[in-house]
Amino acid sequence: MNDKVIVSRRTKMLFSLLISSKFLISSCLLFLSVAAHEDNDPELNMNTSQIIERWGYKAEVHTVTTEDGYILEMQRIPNGKKSVSWPNGKKPVVLMQHGLLACASDWVVNLPDQSAAYVFADAGFDVWLGNVRGTTYGRKHTTLDPKETPFWQFSWDEMAQYDLTAMVDHVLAMTGQDNLYYMGHSQGTLIMFTRLAKDTDGSFAKKIKRYFALAPIGSVKNIKGFLSYFAHKFSPEFDGWYDLFGSKDFLPDNWITKEASKDICGSSEKEAEKCDNELFLIAGPESNQWNASRTAVYSSQDPAGTSTQNIVHWMQMVRHGRVPAFDWGKKINKKKYGQDTPPEYDFSAIKGTKIHLYWSDDDWLGDPTDIHDFLLKELNPAVIAENVNLKNFNHLDFSWGLSATPEVYLPALKTCTDDYLGKS
């Protein structure tokens, strides 16, 4: 038996004990300190809308139901703090989509001049924040129960096909616009790439004026960290993974997560370092860009949850080397896809949308080798409007980093503004 491919029973047991011990230690720290420690930052107990309102912005909550019955909550910032007039009387619209294991709060957890949602709102944009199924704001369904396995039988395939489509259509219906600007981070780029790749008639692409892909994801063959490591430790069916993590939610955002983050992280730089290693297992090297006073807020919001099946799909991508649909096994693949193996998404088929790529050599998940060897080769050069290689950005810096505003948000904002005014 190849121990690099099939995890041993002993490894499963030790890994389970590690997880259990870590949880126990965190829980003990929490309950021992609850009487003595009261964090002064009220945002640790707030949801995304409450955080938005805390900073003096209006927040709206919208509910979207997908074609397959998932009920998603979206947040909207209809106005900024500055009065901005547009020639046609209609505001430009931007939809921001979070990444893997995250939620809409990623766009608002820093100070107003450091958070993408506030930066665009203050410039006069109608800002919408999306959330996909399985996150804090995507745990309802018209018929399925999130306590049961069937609710969690999804991956980013369904997020692209159903969630993204429903959110875009809802935003356009509510604003009366024909199209919008889209800013995606991490998995938020993957679902847009794959949705556009299947848009054979161009009906979806015409709704996206410009697409800003931050830490873009296509192939993940060369990524580093957690997903890459475990992708090669299990059988191709990932049975051992399901044994360890079950077949429902993976890293859920629950009260234990939130309460533990207050105690374990705190708000000082020294305390905040306690959160670093866990977050960087997926995101990459330690960041020099984060506001240490906000680290506890970051970790109180993320991880926001996803399905175990979605994590398996990411690891299938690592092993596959390109961008396949979810592999259900030969029998179900035959029924679902009409073939034994899952089909690949064809990125060269993407057309009709101008794409702006923002990536970094220091990103573990949006790996530069994958950017060069897959994304830049597969995408039609005609759709790449901009290709920006940033220095010293890890995967999370695109949403949390202090350099994100000057190097990403403001340039993207100028591009959108000029485009909307017909200057580009």
pLDDT of 251: 63
Choice among 186, 261, 307, 399 that is catalytic: 186
The answer to whether residues 251 and 303 touch, using CB atoms and an 8 Å cutoff, is yes
Q: How far apart are CA 122 and CA 111, in angstroms?
A: 13
Q: What own/partner pairs with CB < 8 Å and gap ≥ 24 does 169-172 have?
A: 169/207, 170/62, 170/64, 170/74, 171/74, 171/93, 171/95, 171/128, 172/93, 172/207
The two tokens of residue 208 are: 């996206």
Radius of gyration of the chain (CA): 21
Nearest to 193 by CA among 344, 79, 56: 344
The two tokens of residue 133 are: 């199924």
Choice among 39, 249, 363, 397 that is catalytic: 363
CA dihedral 129, 134, 135, 137 (to 10 degrees): 60
CATH says 9-420 is which class? alpha beta
Choice among 261, 395, 397, 399 that is catalytic: 395
Domain ranges of the chain: 9-420
What phi and psi, each to the nearest 5 degrees, are found at residue 60?
-115, 145
The answer to whether residues 219 and 314 touch, using CB atoms and an 8 Å cutoff, is no
pLDDT of 286: 60
DSSP characters over 210-271? EEEEES--S--TT--SHHHHHHTSS-TT-HHHHHHH-SSEES---HHHHHHHHHHT-SSHHH
The answer to whether residues 100 and 397 touch, using CB atoms and an 8 Å cutoff, is no
CA dihedral 363, 369, 371, 377 (to 10 degrees): 180
DSSP characters over 20-60? HHHHHHHHHHHHHHTTT---S-GGGG--HHHHHHHTT---E
Give the Cβ contact number of residue 229 at 10 Å.
13
Q: How far apart are CA 280 and CA 199, in angstroms?
A: 34
- For the chain, the straight-line distance linking the first and the last C-alpha, in angstroms and rounded, comes to 59
Those residues of the chain that have pLDDT short of 70 are 1-39, 251-286
Reply yes or no on whether 300 is catalytic. Answer: no
The two tokens of residue 56 are: 């003096």
pLDDT of 275: 47
The continuous run of DSSP H or E covering 306 comes out as strand 306-307
Give the Cβ contact number of residue 88 at 10 Å.
8
Q: How far apart are CA 275 and CA 121, in angstroms?
A: 30
The pTM score is 0.86
Reply yes or no on whether 115 is catalytic. Answer: no
Reply yes or no on whether 232 is catalytic. Answer: no
pLDDT of 98: 97
pLDDT of 283: 65
For β-strands 354-360 and 384-390, DSSP reports them as parallel
Q: How far apart are CA 406 and CA 251, in angstroms?
A: 32
Q: How far apart are CA 49 and CA 42, in angstroms?
A: 13
The answer to whether residues 204 and 165 touch, using CB atoms and an 8 Å cutoff, is yes
Hey, which residues does 96 pair with through a beta bridge? 129, 183
pLDDT of 162: 99
